[in-house]
Each structure stands twice: as structure tokens, then as C-alpha cells.
Amino acid sequence: MASKGAAPSTYTPTPTKKTRPPIFSDSDVDWLRPDGRGFHQCRPAFFRTGAVNSAAGSAYAEFGNTKVIVSVFGPRESKKAMMYSDVGRLNCNVSYTTFATPVRGQGSDNKEFSSMLHKALEGAIMLETFPKTTVDVFALVLESGGSDLPVVISCASLALADAGIMMYDLVAGVSVSCLGRNLIIDPILEEETFQDGSLIITCMPSRYEVTQLTISGEWSTAKLNEAMELCLDACSKLAKIMRSCLKEAASASQD
Amino acid sequence: MVGLSLGEKHFIQGGIDQNIRSDGRKRDTYRPISVETGVIPQANGSARIRIGATEVIASVKAELGRPDALQPDQGKVAIFVDCSPVAEPMFEGRGGEELSTELSVVLQHCLLGGKSGAGAGIDLSSLIVAEGKICWDLYIDGLVISSDGNLLDALGAAIKAALSNTGIPRVQVAAGALGDEQPEVDISDEEFLQFDTSGVPVIVTLTKVGRHYIVDATSEEESQMSSAVSVSINRKGHICGLSKRGSAGLDPSVISDMISVARHISEQLINKLDSEISAAEAGEDEM
């Protein structure tokens, strides 16, 4: 699917001027990333909207081996059992195919992803534009190749835009792993298995607002700031790729 | 769910703006914290923490198990949180499930460090008995008995107290087990090893109401929040985990500011907790 259409573009952040010189320059380090990328280099990002016909909106995203599909249904009437609400509801679900992970069925370990997707998106959606109704966001990870959650979140916000749900801005998600002294952006599955810490940021770049931030592992302040800057820069670039994908789809439908 | 009238909402928000909250506290003061250890005799370690009207129990149980094939030199720790309907009728049936998973996941992130085990508050390699064969499995269970806001900080503190109360029996491994054979073990019921808890972080939740943020929010104050950031910080001042709740987005500079405020508050909280824990342990010994 990635082979046709526009060439995949990357969203590698540009180095900030303030960063201190790295302890090792990239060439001195005795290990390379398994896929040959630099530490601060992202995988090519590929997006396509309209992946599922029956959904109100949908999107497919492919970042290296990570492949996800998200469909959005609604706004439709909330279930009868739900209490009246003058703002809309957002219902998110992230699931893995049984063949998504190296060991079959391992994806069900990530139970918290659904609530994290919800938290990342709810701040961006104008819920008051669809009172008494629910929007369902269903994400399916076809292949888990690392950085699954950020890809799911970015893809979901694209699917919401495709469905015509009013949002303040697109939500882009990027993660950084900390391995020893090095920060590596957009980690793949192997790197995630051995990471000492991880940081996931999802943000609305035009508003420069962080909708969700999750950190695990031990971080010093300097490292944390460096990682956050790196992520925010990558987020804004990723959002540009997402926006161009939407524009492409819109101009294609006009022709 | 907290039902508040418009007037009450304004009262809470106005109070926070003027740095005097409904119960007379300032924005950065905690409610009184009381610690009681050894409350569950059947567990290896336990503690009850009360912060205002919020009350939680944490228990630590140790069982012998087999280490993971991928990490043969580390023990295993599992953290679960249960929100009992005793605390709130909302938690009945599956109602508390979402909150329970959320709290468990955040606590796991905060206490267990990265995937490789680096930066973990609990030293997993101290749980090993015979490398690759026998290790201790720690089961840490949190129970919410009464909920009046700030559950995460209370649970974090309770787990810290429970761990420092934990005694793990000394194990003698019989020599002579060959190859894949499981060696025989002799678990002492008199000698217990104390657990090193100096690296266990505390969790500080800053709740943003209006333009200001407050610590230790009550559930009434939590109902007025726009977002909340929970930071776990260890004694060295390093961040061991962070998570954000609430729908509103935050400016990155605000987050950095919140982290530095949380670090400042964590110092006081760690000292306060440590003195409370040692007082509780001393009180327990006297009885």
C-alpha cells in the first residue's frame, strides 16, 4: 500500500540550537539502530484516509513495520442506558490482531491503550458540537512494530478529521526511548524491549498544547527537557504530513 | 460524582485564586497524613494511609516463583489496585474497573521503571534467590476504602510504607541441584530480610483549577479541574514517571513549571512520610 501514491515523508526533528554537544557523536557510537537510522531520525510516515468504506471516517497509517487502521463511527445516538449529557461522548477502543506481535496474542497486554487514546483525543475534539450523541473510535493494530500508541493516536485524529468531527487541531503523537545516555526517537519494537525509559507526547501543534504526556523510567531534568523539545518538534512536522494527506484526499475528491 | 451548585463551584475556584481553599489550606499544603503499618498480619508487609478523608490500604505478599527466561537475574513485581464500592457506590460491579486499571498502570510506570528495569524504585535483582531458577514474586495490592480525592498520591505513599514494613523470609537453597532441576529450598520463619525502600519514589499530583495548580485536591476540587499532572519523584530529585489526566491541553512550559513545583513539594513529602513511617513502625514495635 505504501508503494503507490506520494512518497512517504519523514518528520525527523531538526536539532535545536541549545542542545549541548552529544557525549558521543553519532559516528563514534559502537552500535547502530537495527534499521540503520540515526538516533534522532524518524521512520517514514505514510497516511491514507478512507481506508474503510462503511465508517464515517477512517485512516490507515504505516510507520515502518507499525501498521494501524482506525475507523470512526458516528456521531450516533448514545446508548439508552447512558445518562443525558449536553456534550458529546467519545468512546475509544484499541485492539491488536492476534498476529500483530511476534508471540501470538501478546497485544492484549496493552489494556491501558484505549484509555490513553481517549485522554489524548478528548482535549482536541469540540464535544459540545454533538450533544447527546457518541463518537466511536476503533483502532486496530495490524502489525506492531514499535511506537504503537503514538501511531494509533495520530492515525485516529486523522480518521476523526476524515469523518468531519470538529476539532481544534490535529493531534500528533511521538515517542522517545532512553537507552543508556542516548535518546532515540520513534523506537522500534526491539528498542522498546530494552529501553530504560520512555516518553510519549501527543500535542496539538498549531495551538502548541500538550494533550497527553506519559513518562516511565528515571529521567533527569535536562534529559527530560531535551526529549520534550525533540518530541514537540517532531510532532509539528508530523502534523504537516497529516495535513497534506488530508488536503490530497480533499483535492482528489473534487476532481 | 460530585454534585455542586454554581455558587459552590465559584467558591472553590475563587478560594484557589486567592490561595485559601475551602478547608483553610494554601494551594501547596497537604491535608494531615497519618500512617499505620502492619495492619494486615497475613501479608508480608502492609500499611494504611489516611490523607484527610481519603483512606487506602496497601499490602505486599511475597511468593516464590520462577524468574522470566528473558531476565533470569530479576524477581517479579505485580501491582494491582482495587476500588471498593465501600468507598463510592459508583465503583460497584464494573464501575471501578476503569479507574482501577488507570491507577494500576500509573503505579506500575512509577515504581517499576523502564522495560529494562532501569530506574525502578524497587530493586528487582534483590528479589532473586537462585539465578534463573527461583525468585520472589511480590504482589502489591492497593485498596481504596474511602475516596476523597488524590487517590494516586495516597496509594503511592501507602505502597512506600507497606514496602518498608515488608519482611521477606530468608531462604536457604540446598546445593546440588543439577541442570534444569529445581533446587530444594528451606524458608525460614524467623529470619526476615528488610526491604530497601530508599529508592521508592513518591507521587505528587498537581491539579490545575483555573490558572493555578493545587496539591492534594479533594474530590470537590477535582471536579473543577481542567487537567492534572501526576509526577513521581525519588529522593535524588529524578522523575520516575509522569502521567496526565483531564481533557484540557497544557502548554509545554506549564508542564515544565509543574514538574519543578512537584519536585520542590516532593522533598517535603518524602521527609514527612519517612518520619511518619518510622513513627508508625516504632509504635507497632511497642505494642
Name residue B21's amino acid.
Answer: R
- The pLDDT of residue B197 is 81
Of A103-112, A149-158, B192-201, B253-262, give the lowest mean pLDDT range.
A103-112
Nearest by CB: B250 against A119, A209, A215: A209
The number of beta carbons lying within 10 Å of the beta carbon of residue A41 is: 17
Mutate to test the interface with B, among A218, A221, A226, A233 (most CBs of B within 10 A): A218
Q: What is the number of CB-based contacts under 8 A between chain A and chain B?
A: 105
* CB–CB contact B116 A232 (8 Å): no
d(CA B269, CA B235): 10
Q: Where are the beta strands (DSSP E) in chain B?
A: 33-37, 45-51, 54-65, 76-83, 128-130, 134-146, 167-173, 185-194, 202-209, 212-215, 227-233, 239-245
Q: How far apart are CA A183 and CA A231, in angstroms?
A: 11
Contact B229 A210 (CB under 8 A): no
Q: Which of A32-46, A212-226, B25-39, B168-182 has the lowest mean pLDDT?
A: B168-182
Ordered domains of chain B (ranges, CATH)? 11-173+181-286 (3.30.230.70)
Contact A213 B238 (CB under 8 A): no
Considering only CB atoms, which chain A residues are within 8 Å of B114?
178, 195-198, 216-218
Question: Which grid cell is B220?
Answer: 470537590
Contacts of A223 (CB under 8 A, 6+ apart): A178, A183
Locate A50 and state its grid cell: 478512507
Average pLDDT over residues B92-114: 83
Q: What domains are there in chain A, each with its CATH number?
A: 46-254 (3.30.230.70)
- What gap in Å lies between CA A154 and CA A55, rounded to an integer? 18
Mutate to test the interface with A, among B244, B245, B253, B257 (most CBs of A within 10 A): B244
Interface of B with A (CB under 8 A): 98, 101-102, 105, 109-110, 113-116, 118-119, 227, 229, 234, 238-245, 247-252, 255-256, 259-260
| CA dihedral over B40, B44, B48, B54, signed as positive or negative | negative
- Cis geometry, peptide bond prior to residue A75 (ω within 30 degrees of 0): yes
Q: Which residues make Cβ contacts (< 8 Å) with residue A103, sequence separation at least 6?
A: none
Residue A190 at interface with chain B, using a CB cutoff of 8 Å:
no
Q: Which three cell numbers stand for residue A236?
A: 509539528
Residue A213, min C-alpha distance to chain B (Å) = 6
DSSP string, B17-35: HTT--TTS--TT-PPPEEE
Q: What is the pLDDT of residues B184-196, one digit of tens each?
A: 777 777 778 887 7
At A91-138, the pLDDT tens digits run: 999 999 988 888 887 776 777 888 889 989 988 999 889 888 999 999
Which carries the bigger pLDDT value, residue A17 or residue A95? A95
Q: What share of chain A is helix, strand, coil (3-state, %, to 5)?
A: 30, 30, 40
| Cβ pair B114:A216 closer than 8 A | yes
Give the C-alpha distances (Å, rounded to integers) separating A128 from A103, B9, B49: 42, 20, 40
The β-bridge relationship of strands B76-83 and B134-146 is parallel
β-sheet bridge partners, residue A164: none
Distances (CA, A) of A122 to A69, A128, A210, A230: 19, 11, 12, 24
For residue B115, which residues of chain A lie inside 8 Å, CB to CB?
Answer: 192-196, 198
Residue A69 distance to chain B (closest CA, Å): 24
- pTM, rounded to two decimals: 0.86
> Of B184 and B287, which is predicted with more confidence?
B184
- For residue B176, what pLDDT is reported? 62
